[in-house]
Amino acid sequence: MLTTAFDEMNGTGSGVREPYACVHQWLQTQKIEDLTRKREDAEALFRRTGITFAVYGDEAATERLIPFDIIPRILSAAEWRRLAVGIEQRVRALNAFMYDVYHRQEIIRAGRVPEDLIIQNTAFLPEMMCVEPVRGIYSHVIGIDLVRTSENEFFVLEDNTRTPSGVSYMLENREAMMHMFPELFARNRVRAVEDYPDNLRLTLESVAPDGLDREPTVVVLTPGIYNSAYFEHSFLADQMGVELVEGQDLVVLDDRLMMKTTQGLRQVDVVYRRIDDAFLDPLVFRKDSMLGVPGIFGVYAAGRLTIVNAPGAGIADDKSIYTYMPDIVEFYTGRPPILKNVPTYVCRKPDELKYVLEHLPELVVKQVHGSGGYGMLVGPAATRDEIDMFRMLVKARPERYIAQPTLALSTCPTLVDAGIAERHLDLRPFVLVGDRVRLTPGGLTRVALRKGSLVVNSSQGGGTKDTWVLQD
């Protein structure tokens, strides 16, 4: 049930919270028109850099800037340590779950997760059964979406184990802030995020196939310039110093994946792919795909190539699987989850469906396979017609939906047209899993810029903030 939101700067109203002390003092000395000008400078910088995204379904096909808010979101060192322990526990459990699903399926035999929820899931790839990924890792790049509801209460809203995006905005937001407000960084000991590309390359190289007698060759595989996240694909390839390729730049020859270069063919060992499973290999998945590489899956299954993230990794970020994550974490780690799930109703269960239909005005209803803020109902903000429409949709296909109480997402001061106001936000930390777990301190804070809105997705009008984790 929605209650008063926790204010990350002012807490419960008893005074400014310690992590925000310096920024609060700084804000008191700033004029709104000066801050607005700085925001415009940041937007001009992003536009020159080409930091834009496309919205699917936009008839104008225009590239847009993600709005950037210049007031940072801040976490203390102690807060981050608590989150980091919970995040690491969760990503280890996620990878153990994926390995089990595609091998012995012990969690199914133990009755902890229903078999049909996995076997009949569109994200489950039978072709991955008994395939051995290097180091047993399926998701090497993971985004864990978190929301805060009180001083010490964080919930996991979603696990992104397929191809989580947004890290380029985390990095560019930090660069813009350091450029515009160096005095703030001089007064605050903020942990760095700039080493993410180096850590990403170290992670990718660490999961290259065994037995190489040379440095691994890593590439970033993109669908091309018309993809909404193309900027991020090219940005990361450039930052890592590796080739950005499309399917047409690769070919399978003699059971190896080869890259076409001006010096001839060069063997590829690790593909950081940013295309969906269905388009990866037309010989195995969608036969009409022009984005993937014929034969690439066979090279992967033979152990001669690492694909990041692995085909079939989407089984772990399906929203119906999310509801079982407390059981999954405990099953594989032997301990209860440190980070809790948002309480969730599974509409495929008759009793829970009945409750959801009776309480639609109070709930957030989501499509199991939905993303980007699409295909969801925020009950308290919905019209009667919208609620009636969702009631029909859920009744017709209950297995496609889950529902959650409307949480009071925490707020943070945000610069809007009318001045500085509180706006709701979430946090997506980025985790790298290879020879070890590497967690970037902070992540991407997404903020709902419309007053009262709980939808932070950029495609739905949300913006981003720089996320500061303070040092001790």
**In the chain, pLDDT over 70 holds for what percent of residues?**
95
Q: Where do the DSSP E strands lie in 101-241?
A: 141-150, 153-160, 218-221
Q: Say how far apart CA 206 and CA 214 lie, in whole Å.
A: 13
Statement: residue 61 has pLDDT above 60? no
**pLDDT, mean of residues 242-256:** 97
* CATH classification of the domain holding 395: 3.30.1490.270
Let me know if residue 170 belongs to a domain. yes
Residue 75 phi, psi (nearest 5): -120, 140
| Predicted model pTM | 0.92
Statement: residue 374 has pLDDT above 70? no
One-character DSSP codes across 368-393: TT--TT-SEEEGGG--HHHHHHHHHH
Let me know if residue 311 belongs to a domain. no
Q: How many domains does the chain have?
A: 3
Question: What b/e sequence results for 206-232 when a residue is b if at least 16 CB atoms lie within 10 Å of its CB, and e otherwise?
Answer: bbbbeeeeeebbbbbbbbeeebbbbbb
Q: Looking at 246, 280, 304, which one is the last position of a domain? A: 304
Statement: residue 59 has pLDDT above 60? no
Let me know if residue 3 belongs to a domain. no
Query: What pLDDT sits at residue 101?
Result: 98
Q: How far apart are the first and last CA of the chain?
A: 35
Confidence band for 372, pLDDT divided at 50, 70 and 90: low
Shared-domain flag, residues 257 and 289? yes
Shared-domain flag, residues 179 and 44? yes
Structural domain harbouring 254: 210-304
**pLDDT, mean of residues 87-112:** 98
Shared-domain flag, residues 229 and 280? yes
Shared-domain flag, residues 321 and 430? yes
**pLDDT tens sequence across 199-234:** 999 999 999 999 999 999 999 999 999 888 899 999
Let me know if residue 454 belongs to a domain. yes
Let me know if residue 388 belongs to a domain. yes
Confidence band for 56, pLDDT divided at 50, 70 and 90: very low
Statement: residue 135 has pLDDT above 80? yes
Confidence band for 54, pLDDT divided at 50, 70 and 90: low
Shared-domain flag, residues 186 and 77? yes
Query: What pLDDT sits at residue 63?
Result: 63
Shared-domain flag, residues 328 and 398? no
Range with lowest mean pLDDT among 48-62, 63-77, 359-373: 48-62
* Residue 214 vs residues 198, 208, 339, 369, 452: alpha-carbon distances, Å: 19, 11, 41, 41, 55
Let me know if residue 6 belongs to a domain. no
Shared-domain flag, residues 278 and 417? no
Q: Which secondary structure element, helix H or strand E, spans residue 89, and what is its range?
A: helix 77-101
Shared-domain flag, residues 286 and 398? no
Cβ atoms of residues 412 and 73 within 8 Å: yes
Query: What pLDDT sits at residue 60?
Result: 47
**pLDDT tens sequence across 140-190:** 999 999 999 999 999 999 999 999 999 999 999 999 999 999 999 999 999
Query: What pLDDT sits at residue 5?
Result: 87
Q: What is the pLDDT of the chain when averaged over all its residues?
A: 92
Shared-domain flag, residues 114 and 231? no
Query: What pLDDT sits at residue 51?
Result: 74
Shared-domain flag, residues 57 and 174? yes
Say which residue, 30 or 49, is predicted with more confidence: 30
Statement: residue 52 has pLDDT above 90? no
Shared-domain flag, residues 332 and 354? no
Shared-domain flag, residues 82 and 167? yes
Query: What pLDDT sits at residue 423?
Result: 94
